[in-house]
Amino acid sequence: MYVLHAPWRMAYINQSSSEKIDCIFCAFTKEDNDEKRLILYRGKRAFVMMNAFPYNTGHLMVAPYRHCGDYDDLDGEELLEINELVQRCIKLLKKVMAPHGFNIGINMGKVAGAGFEGHVHVHIVPRWEGDTNFMPVIGETKVIPEALDVTYRKLKEAWEG
């Protein structure tokens, strides 16, 4: 029997759907603890953070500082900076992790899969050929092969370098 240990997932699993969860995008940027909150970069109108419950290793998110739920309500300066940061994230991930492709998207609204529907954000998910195998299909388990703190340090160093 194989045992897969992913202790960081427990925080996600234990979240009650009835719990009120503050907006992580607003709360985390008010703190001065970027490494703990996985914030890689703070721009003028938007920032980049890693997803603590990633779909794949290196899963990044770009969000505006302003609490805004709809992409079409972002102003021109927010749109420009968010899209420039998405492009910079792609370049960073290509350099550090050499993925074969990307899924890039926005989940607007709860029915679209938004975990934090009140704060629009862009997901950048690096993909590798063969990263979908029997584990998520049969075992309903996604294997993230690298610890979040290790990935954070690699990406942060490359971002600042």
Among 59, 119, 121, 123, the one annotated catalytic: 121
Looking at residue 74, its amino acid is: L
Q: Is 121 annotated in the active site? A: yes
Neighbours of 9 (CB within 10 A): 15
Distance between CA atoms of residues 64 and 128, nearest Å: 28
AA identity, residue 23: C
User: Cα dihedral angle (123, 69, 30, 159), rounded to 10 degrees?
Assistant: 20
The residues assigned a catalytic role are 121
